[in-house]
Amino acid sequence: MRICIISSSKPQMGSGSGLIDYAYQLDKHIRPLLSREDRIDKIYALSKAQRDDVGGIVYANTAFKREIRNMPKDRYDIVHITDNEVGYAARVLKESGNNAKVITTMHNLYRLKTHVNGSQSKNDKFLKQNIIDAVKYSDFLLCNSEQTREAIIENFGKHRNIEIVLHGIEDRFIRTSLKRKKNKKYFTIGYVGSLVTFKNVIFILNAAKSLRGKDYRFVLYGTGADMKMLQRFKEINNLDNLKLMGYLKEENKVKAYDSFDAFAFPSVYEGLGMPILEAKARGLPVILYKYGKIPKEVRKYCFEAESPEHMAQIIENIRRKSVNSARLKLAAKDVVSKFTWKNTAEKTLSVYMRLTGKNRSQH
């Protein structure tokens, strides 16, 4: 079997983009399942992921589009577009007469929606057509959650070939032994993720505002367009109980999670929500925004806050009542155990084989 993986940026760990991490993990975990005669190639537009990089988006939609159009028509059995934001590749491949079966992984459809401020960015509007092309021209769609599948059906109607394949988290989040927390003066609430509008990080800052003057500390890791706004809010409201830490290196993630006593993730929309799973794997109680669209696969065993003030109350209850009991931790970890990259690779390869008419005995 000859496979080509197409992504917007070079597949690599610690890119800061879940879409690029996915491409890396898929390549890494499918390779051991293939025979010596099989091959996987990777092509990508950019060497480094950068959210809302206008220059990169222009390049991806011009020179990179020509590269895809010029791919030999019979070189690959499968072309897997791992990022729906370069979904135009499905249209280009079909229009150029390429004979490969085209698969696109759909991570989320938030680019199609207006956000919390009732508007869409120019980049969202620019990328909307790429999602439409992915759905229209792909032979098969892989969805990372039931919510994503339902969003596709809601926006485009039933697709002839569509399947849910859950993504995984790194083994180290599950296998690294949980450390007993020593008695600390402060109770620490953490966040790991992008600082962009739909992540709704301002919700956490308002919760921190409610808990000023008490023994609580908020530690937020991430970068993004909202950083300056969040810094200004912190300064205006004298939030000396909150730190904006910036980018978190991949190798330091487990240690960062283990420094938290609880995890806040008030996003208004997620295709899946990997940080939720990572936090659960590290035995942390997770607090979500009640009205956020978070997939049911990861939402289970989370606390849900209706407002920043409610989040502050939940945090105090977690600390006072020790509600994150051993039983709750085990239940959450049991949910997380289903999210492995090995499972993702095996189910994805099964789709490849169905589309090409191959089977395991041929490998």
Could you read off the pLDDT of 327-352 as tens digits, one per residue?
666 677 777 888 999 999 999 999 99
Kindly state the average pLDDT of the residues 193-200.
Answer: 93
88 and 162 belong to one structural domain: yes
350 and 261 belong to one structural domain: no
267 and 314 belong to one structural domain: yes
115 and 49 belong to one structural domain: yes
What pLDDT score does 19 carry? 84
Residue 117 pLDDT exceeds 50: no
What pLDDT score does 222 carry? 94
How distant, in Å, are the alpha carbons of 35, 40, 323 from that of 30?
10, 9, 40
130 and 262 belong to one structural domain: no
Work out whether the CA dihedral 127, 128, 131, 137 comes out positive or negative.
negative
265 and 154 belong to one structural domain: no
Number of helical H runs and strand E runs in the chain: 15, 12
Sheet with strand 2-9: strands edge to edge = 39-46, 2-9, 78-81, 101-106, 140-143, 162-164
Kindly state the average pLDDT of the residues 28-56.
Answer: 80
Measured CA to CA, the distance from residue 105 to residue 120 in angstroms comes to 23
146 and 204 belong to one structural domain: no
226 and 324 belong to one structural domain: yes
What pLDDT score does 20 carry? 87
HSE toward the beta carbon, residue 181, CA cutoff 13 A:
18
78 and 102 belong to one structural domain: yes
> Which of 129 and 232 is assigned the larger pLDDT?
232
Measured CA to CA, the distance from residue 136 to residue 101 in angstroms comes to 14
pTM score > 0.85 for this model? yes
85 and 191 belong to one structural domain: no
How distant, in Å, are the alpha carbons of 38, 71, 110, 162, 243 from that of 356?
13, 19, 31, 16, 51
3-state SS class at 269: strand
Residue 107 pLDDT exceeds 80: yes
3-state SS class at 97: coil
Residue 144 pLDDT exceeds 80: yes
C-beta separation of 54 from 127 below 8 A? no
Average pLDDT, the chain: 87
At 207-255, the pLDDT tens digits run: 999 999 889 999 999 999 999 999 999 999 999 999 999 999 989 999 9
Residue 358 pLDDT exceeds 80: no
3-state SS class at 304: strand
Q: Are strands 242-246 and 262-265 parallel, antiparallel or unpaired?
A: unpaired
**Given pLDDT bands bounded at 50, 70 and 90, which one contains residue 51?**
low
Measured CA to CA, the distance from residue 355 to residue 349 in angstroms comes to 10
We report the CATH number of the domain holding residue 229 as: 3.40.50.2000
Work out whether the CA dihedral 116, 118, 123, 129 comes out positive or negative.
positive
At 265-287, the pLDDT tens digits run: 999 999 999 999 999 999 899 99
Task: Give percent above pLDDT 90 in the chain.
Answer: 64
Domain span at 123: 2-168+340-362
| Total structural domains within the chain | 2
Q: From 289, 230, 282, select the one nearest 260 (Cα to Cα).
A: 282
Work out whether the CA dihedral 193, 194, 196, 198 comes out positive or negative.
negative
What pLDDT score does 119 carry? 44
Residue 52 pLDDT exceeds 60: no
Burial of 164 (0-12, 13-18, 19+ CB in 10 A): middle
**Given pLDDT bands bounded at 50, 70 and 90, which one contains residue 116?**
very low
- Which two structure tokens, joined as six digits, stand for 143? 């969805």
C-beta separation of 40 from 75 below 8 A? no
**Given pLDDT bands bounded at 50, 70 and 90, which one contains residue 46?**
confident
Q: Which of 117-121, 132-136, 199-203, 263-267 has the lowest mean pLDDT?
A: 117-121
What pLDDT score does 115 carry? 42
